[in-house]
Structure 1
Amino acid sequence: MVLLALVIMPVAKELVLAAVFAGMLWPVQQRLSRRLRGRRTLAASAITVAAILLLLGPVAALVTFVVRDGVEGVQFISEAIHSDDVASLVSHLPATARDAVTEAIERVPRDLGGIMGQVDIGGAEAASTVGRALAKTGSFVFHAVLMFIALFFLLVRGDELVRWLDSVSPLRQGQTMELFVAFRRVSIAVIASASITAAVQAVAAMVGFLIARVPSPFFFTLVTFLFAFIPAIGAAVVCLFAALLLLVSGHPYMATFLAAWGLVVVGLVDNLVKPLLIRRGLEIHGAIVFFALIGGIATFGAIGLLLGPLLVAFFLAVVRIYHRDYTPGDTRLPAVPGLPRGSKPSSAES
């Protein structure tokens, strides 16, 4: 078992993600297989290719978007940092902090030309950074390929694997299937709730950015969407940061509006939509879900967003099965009014 664990550990995340997506896509696989007259391999191939295209499409659009609008957003941030209002705030800081903040501000280029100049000056460092980025990209592609290969085989023979595990499991018949059902339900609930909530928050934040006339609003909308997946930070932080930039650039009223919009509207979406969606799938108290998300991310990284609630749901499912199927019946005496439960009444009372 130890050797098996050592073999599986390097690809454990890919296998978990493949199992999650296979569980979510299994109804599609069944319907498509029926339409293709039982050709399960062909159906699994079509679904896997579609999943790859759905992954590559948004990534390509994201890269194009960042290249087009990212420089404008960075330039706005740089100009806000170098404004006179920021210098006035820095002058009131203690001497030690003032020197450190001033030095940090001076390192930020003042305009697009300065940004390009920094790129030219740091050519060697930039090349090294690009090399590291390419290495990470290659690693990401490799792990993605492993995940899609596992997804394909799970779509083709996943039902046979589940039946085999149910037959060899030490649990009673049907209990293993109950755990698999809980796995699929939790996976769908977590992914759907996180994605829908992030999208709704990004749209709400974009409305605020457009009303407040934040430069490059779509850039900040993208950042909001990404931050919405991070528990305890959330999308409202991006609105507050953009409001701070508006404030130091001389737009106090718009800054106040955007800060209020981020805290009330965007924050309210997170507090209402996500618990509503996730409770339907998990049937777990919102506080437990919150700490499961935090603990999962702290322990497993980004995939902990899924693994945290999944492990908690598995634990609760095991406890429920044990309590229902293994706990012996209540053999205690029925309660007598006025006496502790299980106590025998005296002869006078009887």
Structure 2
Amino acid sequence: MSTDTKRSKRFLLILGLLVGLLSFLIVLPFLTWILVAVILAYALTPINDRLSRRFSSGLSAGLSILIGLFLIVLPIVIILGVAAGQARQLFADFEPGNVSQLDDVIADRFGVQVDIATLHDAFSGAVKTGARGLAGNLFSIIGGLPELFIGFTVLFFVLFYLLKDGEQAVAWFRRSLPIEPAVQKELFEGTGLLLHNSLVGTAAVAGAQAALLGVAFLVLGLGNVIFWIVTTFVAAMIPLVGASIVWIPASLYLFVIGRPIAGVVLFVFGAVVISTVDNILRPIVMRRGTQLSPVVTIIGIFGGITLFGFVGLFVGPIILGLLKLIIDIFVREYPESVLLEQG
């Protein structure tokens, strides 16, 4: 390689890094919107593929977005809005002045003295922190209509062109990656498995458990059902925690307020039906492949929620799972580099 070629290559690399950094700074304010668009594009691809057989690529992408708007986005926004309202009502109902009588009830029934005020502070702090992280910037941007308009504009155009020209974009990306074909194939397949297991598998299991618990709450006459459905959905996605973190305390609550039969029914329903759903449904909807440890999943969920808001619930584990996949491939395919670094 000549001196001029080396100099040109070095300059092009520096220029590429500089432009790449500036591009990242430009994209960063809209990163959450872009991630939402990617998730929606993945979810709407099967619909778009069917529509593209009858219509042009642009028309099928537009129709897919309309379907996704009414079947996915709008219901989620409504549910989160109702859940936020019920959360505020729950905070009001749990004020120490409103539940101070539980001190005497618990003392009479179980012979245990409980400081409701202390429980209130702990409960309120935990729920408010969780709700704030769950909602993320979804509600914080409502106050700024220009930012909201720009965000939805970015979301719409990214989603539209992902659906319309997604195959060409993936093909260009494959050609541009300086990776061996076998390694590239494994990387793309592993990424597809991570997307499916997080967006389809885990979400389907968590959604089924949350819906079942919501029905049980309605039948038993418990309030703030939508809030508890959302809470159960998030909890069911967390390994080693699951929906039991909601239905077990709810069962104990029914015992405390003098409804032992309802408490037993809810406990049995949770232990037999809701917990069994995970064992039955998960093997059906989950694909074998890249599996994340509970630690990685938990860090991914909470870190993702903190960084990206509600969408981070799905994106966080995918990003950490992708990092693990890249490290595994690198260590296996290029062991000499690892040994050189160790030496």
- TM-score band by shorter chain is 0.5 to 0.7
- What amino acid sits opposite 1:235 in the alignment? A
Q: Is the 8 A contact 1:293 1:304 kept in 2?
A: no
Uncovered stretches (5+) of structure 1, i.e. residues with no partner: 105-130, 329-350
Counterpart CA distance in 2 for 1:141 and 1:233 is 37
Q: Is the 8 A contact 2:251 2:267 kept in 1?
A: yes
Q: Structure 1 residue 47: deviation in Å?
A: 0.8
1:22 aligns with 2:47: no
Q: Structure 1 residue 163: deviation in Å?
A: 1.6
1:295 aligns with 2:319: no
Aligned length: 293
Counterpart CA distance in 1 for 2:30 and 2:81 is 31
Q: Structure 1 residue 295: deviation in Å?
A: 0.8
Secondary structure of 2:180's aligned partner: coil
1:6 aligns with 2:25: yes
Q: Is the 8 A contact 1:48 1:152 kept in 2?
A: yes
Uncovered stretches (5+) of structure 2, i.e. residues with no partner: 1-19, 122-138, 337-343
1:106-125 equivalence runs, <5 A: none
Deviation sequence 1:289-330 (CA, Å, 0-9, x none):
4222211123221434323432344345435644675568xx
Q: Structure 1 residue 55: deviation in Å?
A: 3.4
Q: Which residue of 1 aligns with 2:250?
A: 242
Distance change >3 Å, CA 60–CA 147, structure 1 → 2: closer
Q: Structure 1 residue 63: deviation in Å?
A: 7.7
Q: Structure 1 residue 248: deviation in Å?
A: 2.9
Q: Structure 1 residue 157: deviation in Å?
A: 1.5
Q: Is the 8 A contact 2:205 2:281 kept in 1?
A: yes
Task: Give the alignment partner of residue 34 of structure 1, picking from 40, 50, 53.
Answer: 53
Q: Which residue of 2 aligns with 1:220?
A: 225
Q: Which residue of 2 aligns with 1:87?
A: 104
- What amino acid sits opposite 1:7 in the alignment? I
1:108-147 equivalence runs, <5 A: 134-135=142-143, 143-147=151-155
1:152-191 equivalence runs, <5 A: 152-173=160-181, 175-191=183-199
Deviation sequence 1:190-232 (CA, Å, 0-9, x none):
1112332123213432454466x3344xx43652344222325
Distance change >3 Å, CA 8–CA 155, structure 1 → 2: same
Secondary structure of 1:307's aligned partner: helix
Counterpart CA distance in 2 for 1:100 and 1:28 is 52
1:229 aligns with 2:234: yes
Q: Structure 1 residue 189: deviation in Å?
A: 1.9
Q: Which residue of 2 aligns with 1:341?
A: none
Q: Structure 1 residue 260: deviation in Å?
A: 4.2
Distance change >3 Å, CA 169–CA 202, structure 1 → 2: closer
Larger-gyration structure (1/2): 1
Q: Structure 1 residue 246: deviation in Å?
A: 2.0
Q: Which residue of 1 aligns with 2:70?
A: 53
Counterpart CA distance in 1 for 2:202 and 2:72 is 17
Distance change >3 Å, CA 175–CA 22, structure 1 → 2: farther
Counterpart CA distance in 2 for 1:324 and 1:103 is 52
State the percentage of identical aligned residues. 21
Deviation sequence 1:4-39 (CA, Å, 0-9, x none):
222222222322332233234334333322212xx1
Counterpart CA distance in 1 for 2:141 and 2:204 is 29
Q: Is the 8 A contact 1:23 1:184 kept in 2?
A: no
Q: Which structure has greater helix proportion? A: 2
Counterpart CA distance in 2 for 1:278 and 1:80 is 47
Q: Structure 1 residue 40: deviation in Å?
A: 0.8
Q: Is the 8 A contact 1:44 1:156 kept in 2?
A: yes
Q: Structure 1 residue 150: deviation in Å?
A: 0.7
Counterpart CA distance in 1 for 2:45 and 2:314 is 19
Counterpart CA distance in 2 for 1:66 and 1:3 is 39
